[in-house]
Structure 1
Amino acid sequence: MTHLKTRKEIDGEIFYEKKSFFVSEYDKVESYLESKSQMGYHYVKNKGKKYFFREGKPENYYYTLLYYQYDPEASQWKEWEQDGWKLMYQLPGKKNHEAGWFILRNTLGFGEYKKTIDNDLEKYNLFKKQANSYRSTMFLYFIIMAICSVTIFMILKISGFLEALISSIVILVIALILFFVYAYHLVVIKKTVKRLKTRLRLKEKEDFIRSQNEPDYSQTLQELDTDWNTMEQSERVEPEKRRRRKKME
């Protein structure tokens, strides 16, 4: 029997488990969902920290989380479906114009390798923006803490305004806590940004090396037509030469 909590739905019994992940820890979510499928609990959806599963037999399912600012085109979805990917759930982005996160599932067959979908650039841009936003928020909290510190100092020097002193201390403590929370989130995001940046650079290097090793196909159409005409002429001239040789003999 599972330790997961249950709830009844129209289409059957659904299990859920509370798990907390940072947005930048999408790879941990993928591993988590895969481990659940191997235990016989297959991902259905998630709301906040609640991840919902339907019980079944253990399967070699594996998952990928993709972020897109705009919805992928129909041709892209068709290509993914041909590769065996199935859309399980879509999490909307923070802004209305953003497509958000897509959670896809695939099946690992015997002797097969896990398939991947290149989404590093989109994630890199997302987390880079989030890192900049966190820095701005931290700077705002720093300003608040500085103002509160000055206010507390002035009140202590004047020796009065007890209520203002208490309020300033409370605001300072809250701002300090939020500052460190955002600082921790920023550290996590920066690690993800650094990892994605490294992968993108490696891909650029591989593409460059591949392009250097490929044969040169830059010949113009006119040059190709000339080559074909030369070959055709040589094919017509060669039999004619053979006939002349036979007559001379």
Structure 2
Amino acid sequence: MAGSTTAERGERQQRSSGPPPLRRFTPPRLRMIIILALALVLLGAGTVWLLYGSQWLRAEEVSVSGTRVLTPAQVREAADVPVGEPLISVETDAIEARLRRKLPRIDAVEVVRSWPHEIQLNVTERTPVLLVQKGRNFVEVDEGGVRFATVPRAPKGVPVLELTLSRPGSRAASLRRFGEGRLVREAVRVAGALPDAVARDTRTVKVLSYDDISLDLGGGRTVAWGSGEQGSVKARTLTALMKATPGARHFDVSAPTAPASSGS
């Protein structure tokens, strides 16, 4: 009997190499898929209920850290945390905004969910570097020039700002050119650049004009600082000048390359 031709063999090979037959899920495999899908649905529903519906993850405590002048009670009251609500639904951004708005003394605040029941309020208060006298009270000014609180008594170790006259009309000219806010910021800039020992001993920062700022220290000593520019250079120069002439009462670092001291 004659063998198959080449064409016949090709046809048989093509039929044998065709697409594989479709597989059908067997009943046990189908049941396993259904069981897994139901388990995922139940797990998701259980998680949602646990976070929003159960009593286990509710905001029940509010802790406060970082206060110095403010009290924890003041911070809690201003924060107005919705105690009893699901912890997951507490709007931390809204709490931060309320604290900044109601308590300007707060410079930075972090609101943290601490599972399972606590909201933590971590605050950083502004530090006054200068005081502006207003009647019998004092307005505290921080290193950014922000006036954030009015207090009846001057905090210890914080100098008072004085806007005074150096020459007739000079203060008015500076006010017209720079504005009172700019002159206050220059005074703040000077106060922030002072060496620690000098800062602790500074009683008054006097602004006579933009480039004529001076300091009154304890013991009747004075420092002519000039403008707020080159603050770090002037601070180093003043420290060296005070060490070189410890008995002097008047120091001039307005031109830090040619400092001077006098008096005894």
The reply to whether TM is greater than 0.5 is no
Higher Cα Rg, which structure:
2
Structure with higher strand content: 2
Structure with higher helix content: 1
Q: Which of structures 1 and 2 has the larger relative contact order (alpha carbons within 8 angstroms, sep 6+)? A: 1
Using structure 1 for the length normalisation, give the TM-score: 0.19
